Each structure stands twice: as C-alpha cells, then as structure tokens.
Amino acid sequence: MSMEALFRKLLAYEHELIQQSHVEDTEKKRKGISLKASSLKEDHKESSSDDKDVENLNLMVKKFGKFLKRSKDKKFSKPSKKVETNKNTITCFECEKQGHIKSVCVVYLKK
C-alpha cells in the first residue's frame, strides 16, 4: 500500500470519527430535553403518593407558621406593662409641679 492511499484512509477514518462524535453530542442534548413516559397504573400510584406528600407539606407549613408565631411572641416582643398614670405622678417640666404637663401649664402659657 502506498503512502498516499494510507494517508487517504486515515483522513477518511478521522472524518468518520468526527461525524460520530457530533451525532452523539446532538443525541445527548435531545435526551436531556425529552420527558419520560409512564403507564396509567404508575401514574395512579405516583399521584396518590404525591397527594400524601402535598398534604404532609401543607401540615408542616402550618405547624412551622404556628411555631414562628409562638417563638416571635416569646423572644422578640417586650412584655406589655400597663403603666397607670395618675395626675399625681405626672410632673410639669416648666414649673416642676405635679398634676399637669408643660403644654397645659399656666406658667408656660403666660410666657
């Protein structure tokens, strides 16, 4: 066999390998897009398990929401203290007498 014939056969073989690799790449891309088909019996089994999963997820979300509400009340909110304000405990900053505030103070209003 001559060198030229061997060189042509090697080029042809290399060309075939390149084409095969391109075909395989396109097949891999197509396989990633396609969806898997299933029979009706499998769909029924999967849908019942999916329903159970959805119910469990909903229950977990409700319980988690209640947990967050309880933990928020305990940790982040200050206890509500109702302070009784008698007129005897309020002191005016203008005249320093008890029983009224500065905005209604007679001394302040006269000035």
Is 41 in a helix, a strand, or coil?
helix
pLDDT score at 88: 63
Contact between 79 and 89 (Cβ < 8 Å)? no
Q: pLDDT tens digits for 71-81? A: 766 655 555 55
Beta carbons within 10 angstroms of residue 23's beta carbon: 10
Give 94 or 31, the one with higher predicted confidence.
94
Q: pLDDT tens digits for 23-50? A: 887 776 665 555 556 655 555 555 667 7
The CA distance from 37 to 39, in Å, is 7
The CA distance from 91 to 40, in Å, is 81
